[in-house]
Amino acid sequence: MDPAPSLPRQLPLLRAADEFVLTTILLFLAVTVVRWLRDPGSDLYIADLDNALAVIGVVSGAILTGLIFTPPGRRSGGHMNPAVTVALWLLDAFPGRSVIPYVLAQLAGSVAGTGLARLVWGPAVSAPDVAHGAIRPAPTWEPSAVFLAEAGAMAAIILIVGYLLAKPRFVRLLPYVIGACVAAVIALLGPLSGGSVNPARQFGPAALAGVTKDLWIYLVAPVLGAVVGAAIYHLFIWRFNACRPLTYKLTGDEVPRVDA
């Protein structure tokens, strides 16, 4: 079994402040990308929704990867997603006392980033096709299907994150893998369930746009998916391979490099 560094009982509140800053930037950029690609008055407007979501997915994945590598991302772990924070806690890689500060900071950053985009871009952000960047499922999809898709996608991501965080040889690939996973979820599930898999991604946009009918799904489903993913990891990967995540930092900065 790989040796794991000792886990502090609680992280400094400044690390939660880092998560607030990161999530604020993430949501500002997410709303900005949607504003430029989905506003019919924009020079970059993409009329076809599937094509637009494919581009949004690639850009969003690249943004997320970049933010993980920033100084705040290296300090806090670069979660920017309450479901990821909860999962890492359940995997014994993150202190339980810091879960609530992180989650509150991420949700507050979601509102702040969305509000900042509204201030910068003005009424264009509230256009019907933009709606502050709020996620919306396909009209033909029932709430139960949306819930299962969002939870299932998050569970799969957590299994990948947990496995790579337990392998010093591969852990430094994780930011790129996470970006690729987010890009794939947005491109594939975006036209169907909305492709959020992040409560912070939907909380601020939905609250400011008044799109709250299915908000509970986007808040609960990813967290439940994270719980399921962590449980599967414990039952099948941790038990039979005797490996646990070595750090809560998605850059793997605390994990010693292992040569092939």
Beta strands in 147-195 (DSSP E): none
Q: What's the rounded Cα separation, in Å, for the pair 107 and 81?
A: 9
Q: What radius of gyration do the chain's Cα atoms show?
A: 18
pTM of the model: 0.93
- Given pLDDT bands bounded at 50, 70 and 90, which one contains residue 2? very low
Is the pLDDT assigned to residue 135 strictly greater than 80?
yes
- Nearest to 31, CA basis, from 174, 178, 214, 201: 201
pLDDT at 257: 56
Q: Is residue 90 part of a domain?
A: yes
Mean pLDDT, to the nearest integer, of 22-37?
A: 97
Is the pLDDT assigned to residue 29 strictly greater than 70?
yes
Quick: pLDDT tens for 171-223.
Answer: 999 999 999 999 999 999 999 999 999 999 999 999 999 989 899 999 999 99
Q: Is residue 185 part of a domain?
A: yes
Buried b (16+ CB within 10 A) or exposed e, 123-158: eebebebbbbbbbbbeeeeeeeebbebbbbbbbbbb
The domain tally of the chain equals 1
List all residues 6 or more positions away from 72 whose beta carbon is below 8 Å from its beta carbon: 18, 19, 21, 22, 78
* Residues of the domain holding 228: 13-241
Q: Is residue 259 part of a domain?
A: no
| CATH number, domain containing residue 118 | 1.20.1080.10
